[in-house]
Structure 1
Amino acid sequence: MWELMVKGGWIMWPILACSIAAAILFLERAFHLHRAQIKQGDFLSGIYTIVNRGNMVEAVSICDQTPGPVAHIVRTGLLHADEQHEELKETITKAGLSEIPRLEKNLGGLLTLAQITPLLGLLGTVIGLLRVFLIMEQSAPLAEIGDLSAGIWQALITTATGLCIAIPSFAGYNFLLSRVEAITLDMDHAAGELYRFLVYERNGDGEQGNESA
């Protein structure tokens, strides 16, 4: 491994730094998104049961103890449950929108690293080839393969290393993006269900309850 680093030249160090940074960003986001995704159906059912018992404070407390954007949206809705319907809907929507940047945090950085790394490898290739042609020019017509091998090694190693880092980085980015999209769908569903519950079903109140009275 060290031998390859040496043969690849100084450009291998920024490539290595990109690989470490990409790994850190991926692991941090994977852990965060794993905690953020909960079984929202079971969570909402439990909250509805507690609210219908008149224990709004307990329901809010459970939301505080539950990680993830769904719990935050539900908590916001419960705290504004007595607002007018349109105001409540707007409040829940804003709560959901505020969670999206938190979910997408550092994804742009991971994508940037995935894009930069192969370019660094390409730069190493260009530098290696320039090195080869410079030696050929200086040593012609007596240039030997041994004199050229260092530049050839650098050209090949940097490109290969850049691709080996960029490919899993792109894969990791798309995996995390799919997790964000799944959580966003959960948020949309939870927001709609919460609004319907607070407006139409809570303790038999709401427009439907008033119309049937």
Structure 2
Amino acid sequence: MNPTDAAAAATQAATNAAVQVATADNMNFIQRAFHEGGFVMYIIAAIFIMSIMVIVDRIMKLKNLNVDKKEFTDQIFRMVVAGDLRQAISYCDARPAALTNTVKAGLVQAMNKRPDEEIQVAMDAAVMREMPKVEGWVSFLAVFGNIAVLAGLLGTIVGMIGSFKAVAVADPATKSIELSKGISHALNCTAFGLLVSILCIVAYGLFQHRIQKTENEVVETSMSLLNLVVANREKIRD
């Protein structure tokens, strides 16, 4: 190839690259990020969608399982002191949640005149049965957060490898463009992976706090109920 043809080819390549850059610039931010980020962006997007599904599911479930602890315990303890366990059980049935189901398990055993140990065992078993319902898929948010970071790192490595390969065989006029494309690929993957990871980790921390609070309330209330039943056994009506 003579120098004139080589120069023309280089000019044409530079023009094509400039057109591609201009086209990308005309896209909106998200489209441009996915265009420049490559296939790894879609992997991170899939993680993001699954994370949002878990977050929405837990928000809805925890809202439905929310119980005003003070109001509930005041009503239940009043009924226990009055010896009306049937009414207390009906009150729990009307408000299905981890706290109410655990208390109900103890009340059923108390109404059946079972020993204190069996009442405690029944409530402990209820806690073990109810808490997984509260936790749901929250633990997967921590997994998704770690995978998002690793996927972003994978995209970074793929982008840099592609960038150096392109620079190695590119004409001098297009080397800087090819290098910038590879770096853009890498940085888009890194940024998106970190954003998804931050979302997952923050949501995981908030949900864990709420779950631990619920578990503490259930355990505390069950212990208080057992003490109350023991102190008022003679008042319990059949």
User: Could you tell me which residue of structure 1 aligns to residue 203 of structure 2?
Assistant: 172
User: Could you tell me which residue of structure 2 aligns to residue 29 of structure 1?
Assistant: 58
User: Could you tell me which residue of structure 2 aligns to residue 68 of structure 1?
Assistant: 97
Q: Does 1:100 align with 2:131?
A: yes
Q: CA deviation at 1:78?
A: 1.1
Q: CA deviation at 1:157?
A: 0.4
User: Could you tell me which residue of structure 2 aligns to residue 116 of structure 1?
Assistant: 147
User: Could you tell me which residue of structure 2 aligns to residue 59 of structure 1?
Assistant: 88
| CA distance in 2: counterparts of 1:59 and 1:108, whole angstroms | 34
Q: For structure 1, which segment, 23-32 or 49-58, has the greater mean C-alpha deviation from structure 2 after superposition? A: 49-58
TM-score by length of 2: 0.80
- Consecutive unaligned residues of structure 2, counting only runs of 5 or more, are 1-29
| CA distance in 1: counterparts of 2:128 and 2:170, whole angstroms | 64
User: Could you tell me which residue of structure 1 aligns to residue 10 of structure 2?
Assistant: none
* Secondary structure class of the residue paired with 2:39: coil
Percent identical residues: 26
Q: Does 1:17 align with 2:46?
A: yes
Q: CA deviation at 1:53?
A: 4.2
Q: For structure 1, which segment, 162-171 or 59-68, has the greater mean C-alpha deviation from structure 2 after superposition? A: 59-68
Larger Rg: 2
Q: Does 1:150 align with 2:198?
A: no
Paired letter, 2:88: A
Q: What value does the CA root-mean-square deviation take over the aligned residues?
A: 1.8
Paired letter, 1:106: W
Contact 2:81 2:228 in 1 (8 A): no
Q: For structure 1, which segment, 22-31 or 127-136, has the greater mean C-alpha deviation from structure 2 after superposition? A: 22-31
| CA distance in 2: counterparts of 1:24 and 1:72, whole angstroms | 27
| CA distance in 1: counterparts of 2:52 and 2:117, whole angstroms | 44
Q: How far does the alpha carbon of each residue in 1:29-50 deviate from its partner, in whole angstroms, 9 at most, with x for none?
A: 1222233232222212212323
TM-score by length of 1: 0.88
Q: How far does the alpha carbon of each residue in 1:130-170 deviate from its partner, in whole angstroms, 9 at most, with x for none?
A: 00111122237665211222211110100001001111210
| CA distance in 1: counterparts of 2:234 and 2:47, whole angstroms | 55
Paired letter, 1:170: I
Q: Does 1:136 align with 2:153?
A: no
Note closer, same or farther for the CA distance 1:203–1:27 as it changes in structure 2 (3 Å cut).
farther
User: Could you tell me which residue of structure 2 aligns to residue 8 of structure 1?
Assistant: 37
